[in-house]
Amino acid sequence: MSPQKAIIIGSGIAGMATAIRLAVQGFEVTVFEANAFPGGKLSLFEKDGFRFDAGPSLFTEAHLVEELFELADEPMENYFSYQQLDTACHYFFENGKRLKADTDKDKLDAAIATQLGEKPGTVKDYLSRAEKLYDDVGHIFLNFSLHKTSTWIHKRVWKAVKAVRWPYLFSTLNEYNQSRFKQPETVQLFNRYATYNGSNPFKAPGMLSLIPHLEFNTGTFYPKGGMISITNALYALAQKKGVVFQFNHKVQSILQEGKKAVGVEVNQKQVRADVVVSNGDVYYTYKHLLKNEKQAARLQQLERSSSALIFYWGIQHQFEELGLHNILFTRNYSEEFAHIFEKQQTYHDPTIYINITSKMEAGHTPGKGENWFVMVNAPADNGQDWSKLVKELRKQVVLKINRMLNTDIEPLVATEIIMDPLRIAERTGTFKGSLYGTSSNSKWAAFFRPANFDSGIKNLYCCGGTVHPGGGIPLCLKSAAITADLINKDYGHQ
Ligand SMILES: Cc1cc2nc3c(=O)[nH]c(=O)nc-3n(C[C@H](O)[C@H](O)[C@H](O)COP(=O)(O)OP(=O)(O)OC[C@H]3O[C@@H](n4cnc5c(N)ncnc54)[C@H](O)[C@@H]3O)c2cc1C
């Protein structure tokens, strides 16, 4: 019998991971990608000898990448390597306080006690609670479909329900952090984790306090060659397992016969398949590929995660006080988030994230400089005048960096690329340019996130940051696992 055919629309990380999993299950897999390159948001820019990871820069839950090599029975070391980091991030506060956040919990606890004035033991206790919350609740809600009865009758659900204490659900992350820490800087530092899925700590539930568990308990990593190595490794692995990639192939529609998906229309040709998986933004999938206006209108109502303005700067200088990950905090975090989510504007004193991979690999710059990825949170695109906002924000970013690092950065910028929400939307086919699909600004957000399958159209599945369990590399990889598992159950290949 000839193998069943699967089509994946999009080669984002979840698309590639699903392709690998389906190839291992015995499907003949073709990936259609609108761009000329794989990876979607997880891709690369190069300019004047400087190389920049275009999107993600933080790598946690590395075992999820490893798992794909194990499944494919291929030695990972032939494709990919990574190292565990000792330092999570360098933090700079406007009041002059600074903190080098070690990933070692004892050292972190001690540093936060001496430099921010927190009571010793408080941070370790916080991280233990985060670990328990992740194990009790995260496991079931992040690794299984929430849209299948089989998930809900699993006994771990009851364990999860029992573990959900009042503050995790009914306090905001900020309120929860205020109840655990005395110092405003520690609260701000742990509030920041809401941004790991593009949310607002003054709205998102205390449940998000499980996120730091990933950085400090399970580890933060650096892939050799930068984040693009993850894309390159999965692309090579998929090809090794027989997956065919067709670049510059933008899918125009998903073909249906009755209530069944039977293939796609791409570059004016119809290509048939037994299974269709969309890794594109779920809103666009329903709006444009399925022409399902009702479902698109429903998805449009869901609040989007934040987007970003990013300045990729080739810098002709080395800054000793900076590391791979650096944060220059705003003076007023609540105002910053109110601007982003309520006023849909950028904020004049933004929190600035600077990622510098040349701290790890000198070859990422042409000379003795540094490759700065300078990102500030921004609202998703709602028709704002981005060229005006970029100009304004660039000035504010330069002033803040000068003030907080006691430098004059402008003359040191040798080369520049700029991305705004419009460009992110255009480059990755993402609705409104949001980084992580829908926000987690309500306690029920996880339950409204779209499913990994369509209950009304047989053979149609969805994976990636805009569907369950959400955005970010680890969750996208989990989304691929959930989707491939559903397909496996439906088709019984293994
Ligand atoms: C600036 C930025 C910073 C980020 N920082 C981090 C971070 O530090 N850590 C982290 O974990 N995550 C981070 N993220 C989020 C993370 O990048 C995403 O959640 C993840 O990469 C999304 O992957 P995905 O599989 O959903 O697909 P995407 O990367 O969204 O790719 C989808 C692909 O589908 C293709 N496509 C869409 N429609 C079609 C069509 N009709 N036909 C053919 N192809 C189509 C697109 O061209 C694209 O290649 C960041 C994102 C950005 C943009």
Domains, the chain, ranges and CATH? 5-42+60-83+225-302+440-491 (3.50.50.60), 103-218 (no CATH), 306-428 (no CATH)
Which residue minimizes the CA distance to atom 6 of ligand 1? 56
Query: Which numbered atom of ligand 1 lies nearest the CA of 308?
Result: 1
Q: What percent of the chain has pLDDT over 70?
A: 99
Helices vs strands, H then E, count in the chain: 19, 20
Tell me the average pLDDT across 418-427: 98
**How many Cα neighbours within 13 Å face the side chain of 110?**
6
Ligand 1: list residues with CB < 6 Å. Answer: 9-15, 32-35, 40-42, 55-58, 250-251, 279-280, 308, 310, 424, 428-430, 435-436, 464-465, 471-473, 476
| pLDDT at residue 462 tops 80 | yes
Q: What gap in Å lies between CA 310 and CA 321, rounded to an integer?
A: 21
Answer whether 44's CB lies under 8 Å from 229's CB. Answer: no
* Amino acid residing at 285: T
- Retrieve residue 90's tokens: 């360098």
Q: Residue 318: count other Cβ atoms within 10 Å of its Cβ.
A: 14
pLDDT(168) > 90: no
Mutate to test the pocket of ligand 1, among 7, 20, 21, 41 (most ligand atoms within 8 A of CB): 41
* Bridge partner list, 264: 254, 271
- Whole-model pTM: value is 0.97
pLDDT digit string, tens, across residues 289-342: 999 999 999 999 999 999 999 999 999 999 999 999 999 999 999 999 999 999
Cα separation, 238 vs 452, whole angstroms: 21
- Closest C-alpha among 313, 353, 307, 279 to residue 39: 279
The pLDDT of residue 152 is above 80:
no
With contact defined as beta carbons under 8 Å apart, do 432 and 421 qualify?
yes
- Average pLDDT of the segment spanning 132-146: 85
Q: Which of 60-64, 95-99, 135-139, 310-314 has the lowest mean pLDDT?
A: 135-139
How far is it, in rounded angstroms, from Cα 40 to Cα 56?
11
The atom number, within ligand 1, closest to the CA of 479 reads: 25
Q: What is the C-alpha separation between 19 and 237, in angstroms, rounded?
A: 10
Q: So what's the pLDDT on residue 181?
A: 98
- Give the residue, out of 253, 279, 309, 352, with the most ligand 1 atoms within 8 A of its beta carbon, to mutate for a pocket test: 279
Mean pLDDT over 377-401 rounds to 97
Instruction: Please state which of the ranges 73-77, 160-164, 258-262, 355-359 shows the lowest mean pLDDT.
Output: 160-164
Distance 12 CA to ligand 1 centre (A): 5
Residue pair 467/147 in contact by the 8 Å Cβ criterion: no
Residue 493 has pLDDT above 70, yes or no: no
Q: Is 6 left (phi over 0), alpha (psi -120 to 50) or beta?
A: beta
How large is the greatest C-alpha to C-alpha distance in the chain, in angstroms? 69
Q: Under DSSP, is residue 287 helix (H, G, I), strand (E, B) or coil?
A: helix
Q: Which residue do the tokens 């397992």 mark?
A: 241
Q: Quick count: other Cβ atoms within 10 Å of Cβ 115? A: 17
Average pLDDT across the chain, whole number = 95
Would you state the pLDDT for residue 477?
Answer: 98
In angstroms, the CA 470 to CA 463 distance is: 9
> Closest ligand 1 atom to the C-alpha of 466?
26
DSSP 168-209: HHHSBHHHHHHHH-SSHHHHHHHHGGGGGGT--TTTSBGGGG
Q: What is the pLDDT of residue 494?
A: 52
Banded model confidence at residue 62, pLDDT cuts 50, 70, 90: very high
Q: Residue range 204-216: average pLDDT?
A: 93
455 alpha carbon, distance to own chain's centre = 26
Determine the length of the chain. Answer: 494
Spell out the alpha helix ranges (H) of 181-324: 184-191, 211-212, 228-240, 282-284, 293-300
Mean pLDDT to the nearest integer, 102-128: 97
